[in-house]
Amino acid sequence: MKDKDVAQILRDKGLRVTPQRIAIYECLAGTTAHPTAETVYQQLHSKYPSMSLNTVYKTLLVLEAAGLIQRFTTADSVFRYDANPAEHVHAVCLKCGRVSDVPGDFGEELERLRAKAVGNSDYNIRYSTLLVYGLCPECKR
Amino acid sequence: MKDKDVAQILRDKGLRVTPQRIAIYECLAGTTAHPTAETVYQQLHSKYPSMSLNTVYKTLLVLEAAGLIQRFTTADSVFRYDANPAEHVHAVCLKCGRVSDVPGDFGEELERLRAKAVGNSDYNIRYSTLLVYGLCPECKR
DNA sequence: AAACAGCAGATAATCATTATCAGAAGCAAA
DNA sequence: TTTGCTTCTGATAATGATTATCTGCTGTTT
Ligand SMILES: [Mn+2]
Ligand SMILES: [Mn+2]
Ligand SMILES: [Zn+2]
Ligand SMILES: [Zn+2]
């Protein structure tokens, strides 16, 4: 997704386009690491020394509300952010906390699970999150 | 699971059996609501006025380490506790935060997902958590 | 350029969870 | 049953992530 698109999506939602919003989105779009707000802040601090952590948090909320990114939480209870807002499977390392995408198309499996959950639950189901926990390549020695 | 069993499991792990531990386990075993630590604390406060919230937290960690319960986190980033330590599917209400078990046996589907994730990921996968988000019966009006 | 509404940054507040430590209590041995 | 050791509990404080508040600034529209 290019800057122009992000800017346009923001404008279409009545939101302003600011350098901070573009920078934070690009930071997320340019990594596969599912960083925390703190990590995003540190990444951008050299290029944008005046940007505050609070702005990072608020901007991430704005981007999420606009449907541009997703936010999720793992067992360590720190929010992770992902420039890919589509449902997909995440692997979480039990030792170092790293979060990675699980490659492959799980659309069919997730859809089947969803259908079964919809049938069995009295909830009006909107979406689902699947996390698999284990040891990352580095940590499994 | 009866008290005697819990007590014995604790003893087998070299842990002491205390009224607080039994009470907290029974509180969890007697509900399907997946309470937070704070909720467990409030539930027990009338019967055990001297029990502290800190003890609830530490006891829940002990019970989890003993494999008697499981802990997980939802989108609101507050830990939920469950006397059923087996993998199963949870539904989370987007409006009120309620967490319910999704009935039905998802063992086969979860196993298939796990197998596919194991094949596609370079993580050494141990377990997984599947949460479905939506509106609970109360909140969907 | 001007004017307005929304945004960024500094700061403080909040909330859940964990750490610390002294006294109480479970447990095993005597 | 009593003793003695060790672990646990509860009071309190600390931590860490996230959010709230407020003032000055900036993007946007005219
Ligand atoms: Mn991802
Ligand atoms: Mn459950
Ligand atoms: Zn790792
Ligand atoms: Zn609800």
pLDDT digits over B66-104, tens only? 999 999 999 999 999 999 999 999 999 999 999 999 999
Q: What pLDDT does A6 receive?
A: 87
Asked if A33 has any chain B CB less than 8 Å from its own CB, the reply is no
Torsion of CA B37, B43, B45, B46, to 10 degrees: 180
Q: Is the CB of A75 under 7 A from strand D?
A: no
Task: Note whether B128 contacts A133, CB cutoff 8 Å.
Answer: yes
Q: How far is the CA of B18 from the C1' of C26 (A)?
A: 7
What CATH number labels A86-141? 3.30.1490.190
What CATH number labels A1-85? 1.10.10.10
Rounded to a whole number of angstroms, the distance from the CA of A42 to the nearest CA of chain B is 23
Which of A72, A74, A73, A71 lies closest to A94, judged by CA? A74
Q: For residues B78 and B10, give the distance between their C-alpha atoms in angstroms, rounded to a whole number.
A: 26
pLDDT digits over A30-72, tens only? 999 999 999 999 999 999 999 999 999 999 999 999 999 999 9
Which of B76, B74, B87, B139 lies closest to A123, judged by CA? B139
Give the residue with greater pLDDT, A103 vs B5. A103
Q: Which pTM value belongs to this model?
A: 0.92
Delimit the domains of chain A by residue range.
Answer: 1-85, 86-141
Instruction: Among all protein residues, pick the one whose CA is nearest to the C1' atom of D26.
Output: A18
Q: What pLDDT does A138 receive?
A: 94
pLDDT digits over B14-57, tens only? 899 999 999 999 999 999 999 999 999 999 999 999 999 999 99
